[in-house]
């Protein structure tokens, strides 16, 4: 079997791989350590996506030549987000000019962008608020465009929504693409700051200062994103406590997802419970594990 990666022949020794899928999965693990992903597979001249189930039915003995397209993970994310941003701008302009003339195409476009959002999230080490907001907005748009009743008076608002989505993709790209490392000292100060502002959030809600409270929640979400990202960036420093750190990262990601969901739904009661009872304990656990490791 001849193996080519991005057009260059590579010598390879098979171990226990029985199918093309086994080969792809083994190489996927290797590339993951370099933040690279397989974006395409060509076997004996026929192209397959890297997750095509057919690969599992192709025996290694049948493979004369396998060619892999391998790309930096960051480059894939950057390209997908930029394409999605451009599409949102184009749909906004088309809606403004042609109204509902191309609704069928809009549905297909939105379904494609939803797939992009899922891919970006799967490649990201942390649940990002913008990703969640984009997903929910796209689902609402898809439901609207699939409905029977569409009114001309809704078009300006739809245009505005598509323009807002293009902005969210820009913000998401800035978070996904920037590869700067999280500074441990700055992160520690930010976590201490969160413990100080959490009581202020509850107080702001009680005083009817919802906007001030939500501004502070934005800060909470941003710091939590950085906290999870720090764990992913420095995984090698926690080799002796790998399981504890992984559980901590998963727990923070789950809590972050719950906070974002409650934020989107304007569920003040749930937000209060998460921020007052769950988050402080998570922060203290985080500090104890990270600063003692």
Is the pLDDT at 179 greater than 60, yes or no? no
Question: How far are the Cα atoms of 27, 160, 261, 270 from residue 266, in angstroms, in the given order?
Answer: 44, 21, 9, 9
- 214 and 280 belong to one structural domain: yes
Domain that holds residue 129: 75-177
Q: pLDDT by residue (tens digit) across 65-74?
A: 999 999 988 8
- 66 and 79 belong to one structural domain: no
- 119 and 80 belong to one structural domain: yes
- 223 and 278 belong to one structural domain: yes
Query: How would residue 127 be classed by pLDDT, with cut points 50, 70 and 90?
Result: low
Position 34 scores a pLDDT of 82
Q: What is the chain's mean pLDDT, rounded?
A: 88
Rounded Cα gap, residues 289 and 238, in angstroms: 9
Overall number of domains in the chain: 3
Position 125 scores a pLDDT of 66
Position 293 scores a pLDDT of 59
Q: pLDDT by residue (tens digit) across 205-240?
A: 888 888 788 888 888 888 888 898 888 888 778 877
Mark which of 158, 177, 196 sits at the end of a domain: 177
Mark which of 146, 177, 208 sits at the end of a domain: 177
Q: What is the CATH number of the domain that holds 17?
A: 3.10.20
pTM comes to 0.65
Mark which of 42, 71, 100 sits at the end of a domain: 71
- 116 and 62 belong to one structural domain: no
Alpha helices in the chain (DSSP H): 20-32, 73-98, 103-123, 129-146, 155-177, 184-206, 210-233, 242-265, 268-273, 279-292
Is the pLDDT at 204 greater than 90, yes or no? no
Name the DSSP class of 275. Answer: I
- Percent of the chain having pLDDT more than 70? 97
Q: What is the CATH number of the domain that holds 171?
A: 1.20.120
């Amino acid at each position: 079997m001849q193996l080519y990666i991005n057009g260059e022949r590579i010598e390879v020794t098979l171990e226990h791989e029985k199918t093309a899928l086994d080969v792809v999965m083994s190489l996927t693990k290797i590339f993951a350590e370099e933040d690279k992903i397989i974006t395409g597979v060509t076997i004996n001249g026929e192209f397959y996506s890297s997750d095509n189930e057919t690969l599992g039915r192709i025996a290694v003995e049948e493979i004369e030549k396998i060619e892999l397209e391998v790309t930096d993970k960051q480059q894939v994310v950057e390209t997908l987000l930029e394409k999605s941003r451009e599409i949102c701008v184009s749909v906004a302009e088309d809606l403004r000019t042609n109204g509902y003339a191309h609704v069928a195409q809009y549905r297909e476009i939105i379904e494609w962008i939803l797939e992009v959002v899922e891919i970006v999230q799967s490649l990201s080490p942390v649940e990002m608020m913008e990703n969640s907001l984009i997903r929910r907005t796209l689902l609402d748009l898809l439901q609207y465009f699939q409905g029977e009743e569409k009114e001309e008076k809704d078009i300006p608002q739809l245009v505005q929504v598509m323009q807002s989505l293009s902005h969210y993709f820009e913000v998401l790209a800035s978070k996904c693409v920037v590869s700067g490392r999280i500074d441990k000292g700055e992160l520690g100060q930010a976590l201490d700051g969160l413990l100080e502002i959490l009581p202020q959030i509850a107080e702001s809600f009680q005083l009817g200062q919802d906007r001030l409270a939500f501004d502070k929640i934005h800060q909470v979400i941003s710091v939590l994103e950085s906290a999870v990202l720090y764990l992913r960036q420095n995984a090698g420093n926690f080799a002796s406590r790998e399981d504890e750190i992984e559980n901590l990262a998963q727990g923070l990601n789950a809590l972050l997802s719950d906070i974002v969901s409650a934020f989107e739904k304007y569920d003040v009661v749930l937000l209060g419970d998460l921020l007052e009872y769950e988050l402080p304990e998570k922060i203290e656990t985080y500090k104890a594990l990270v600063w003692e490791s």
